[in-house]
């Protein structure tokens, strides 16, 4: 990931080196022009990312766990799609016009994914 960040910087994108745990901070863009610049740099650099920047296919066990987590979240009244092999992640939108109140989402997440299952949250304070 350090090589990826270095490549992005060489292509005009101000991106920090990864954290010691290997994570890289996200980029936020404010305009279509900025997004186009990031996309162009990413096209040149993504081969440096793990798995060439493509998501790894989940194992059957990972998919079963994601489906169980999604079922639990729905039982707690959270709107979430069923994970599939093609789209294995769980994405929870909160506070953006859905019925997913951020506090309700946090409580359900604590009960359904106490060990930090691979779930992306969008629009939630403190989320991704």
Residue predicted with more confidence, 92 or 128: 92
Model pLDDT for residues 19-46, shown as the tens digit of each residue: 776 565 666 667 888 889 999 999 999 9
Burial per residue of 26-38, b for 16 or more beta-carbon CB atoms within 10 angstroms, e otherwise:
eeeeeeeeeeeeb
Given a cut of 70, whether residue 101 has pLDDT beyond it is: yes
Query: In this predicted structure, which of 5-9, 62-66, 74-78, 123-127 has the lowest mean pLDDT?
Result: 123-127
pLDDT, tens only, 62-97 = 889 989 999 999 898 888 888 888 888 887 766 555
């Amino acid at each position: 990931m350090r090589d990826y960040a270095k490549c992005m910087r060489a292509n005009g994108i101000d991106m920090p080196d990864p954290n010691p745990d290997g994570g890289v901070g996200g980029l936020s863009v404010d305009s279509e022009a900025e997004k186009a610049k990031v996309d162009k740099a990413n096209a040149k650099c993504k081969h440096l990312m793990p798995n060439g920047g493509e998501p790894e296919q989940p194992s059957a066990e990972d998919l079963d766990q994601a489906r169980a987590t999604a079922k639990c979240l729905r039982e707690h009244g959270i709107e979430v799609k069923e994970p599939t092999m093609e789209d294995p992640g769980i994405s929870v939108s909160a506070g953006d016009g859905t019925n997913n109140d951020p506090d309700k989402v946090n409580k359900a997440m604590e009960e359904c994914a106490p060990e930090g299952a691979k779930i992306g949250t969008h629009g939630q304070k403190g989320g991704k």
